[in-house]
Amino acid sequence: MSIIHSPRPAAWNRVVRRGLAWAVALASLLPATTPALAQTQAQRDSARGPKTLFSRRDAYLGAGFAVLTVAMFPVDQRLAAHLQHSGAEKSHFLKNASRGFEYMADPGSIVIGVGLYGAGRLARWQNVADLGLHGLEAVALSGAITNVIKDLAGRARPYFTQDTSASNFAFGRGFKSGDYQSFPSGHTTAAFAAASAVTSESQRWWPQGIWIVAPVMYGGATMVGLSRMYNNKHWASDVVLGAGIGTFSGLKVVRYNHDHPGNFIDRVLLHVSVAPDGMGGARLAWSATP
């Protein structure tokens, strides 16, 4: 009897290590990743008067994502072929792990967000309710942006045919079929939107834990993107652009809501409570004041 050993997934391991390193580096570039940076930014905002939703730092971060997305185009096809023929695709452990990361993004980001919001409202944990609601808003906003780009770009997914080219774009073709909705990655967008919102919210009420929260959240989101590449659903540039859209959505949703605490959604959903109705049941009650 002979024992057949599958090739050791060295290429995938290298990709994972590089991805995690990239995620940690990315987290260090995002606004409010340390208490000192957050305090300095708050002082500058106070000195300037009214806060603005977008800053120069946002422009630098956006430019970085744009440059990285474009830089991935020349290597998209080579990297996809390398992952699919390195032996990593034969690993049952990696296949199961990649599916787990995908479910963590979709529907996991929605399920977790709803759970946090519900628990926060029932237990009157305002910070947890904030985190859940604003995380859901970030995922919804980033998803809407991503879906529009997907439909308009019409990029063929890597798995569609063996002859698929990474440069196979066609304007509006994404409306016809999901096989042409590769650019950008929706799962990656959702994962980074949730990671960005959670990190930003956590910074407000647990600043000393940011060195734990940021790498864990962004590292997990990066693994979602790598899983989509591993399963041949997306090109590398799809993942990078999805990460950028998700990151910005989370940052801007959290900042807007905390700069405008009286906005309609927060006023309605963060001030709802469950009260006895006097007849053995319960009723929902809203407070119009922030």
Among left, alpha and beta (phi > 0; psi -120 to 50; other), residue 232 is: left
Per-residue pLDDT of the chain (290 residues; tens, 9 = 90+): 333 333 444 544 554 445 444 444 444 444 333 334 444 344 444 444 446 788 888 889 899 999 999 999 999 999 998 887 766 555 677 777 888 888 888 888 999 999 999 999 888 898 899 999 999 999 999 999 999 999 999 999 998 866 678 999 999 999 999 999 999 999 999 999 999 999 999 988 888 888 999 999 999 999 999 999 999 999 999 999 999 999 999 999 999 998 888 888 888 887 655 555 566 655 555 554 44
Give DSSP secondary structure letters for 252-284. Answer: HHHHHHHH-TT-HHHHHHTTEEEEE-SSSSEEE
Cβ-based neighbours of 70, under 8 Å, separated by 6 or more: 237
Boundaries of every domain in the chain = 54-160+175-255, 260-290
Percent of the chain with pLDDT over 70: 72
pLDDT per residue as tens digits for the range 75-128 = 999 999 888 776 655 567 777 788 888 888 888 899 999 999 999 988 889 889
Burial 176-187, CB ≥16 within 10 A → b, else e: eeebbbbbbbbb
CA gap 162, 158 in Å, rounded = 8
pLDDT of residue 89: 56
The CATH code of the domain at 54-160+175-255 is 1.20.144.10
- Tokens 């519900």 belong to residue: 118
> Rg (Cα) of the chain, in Å, rounded?
21
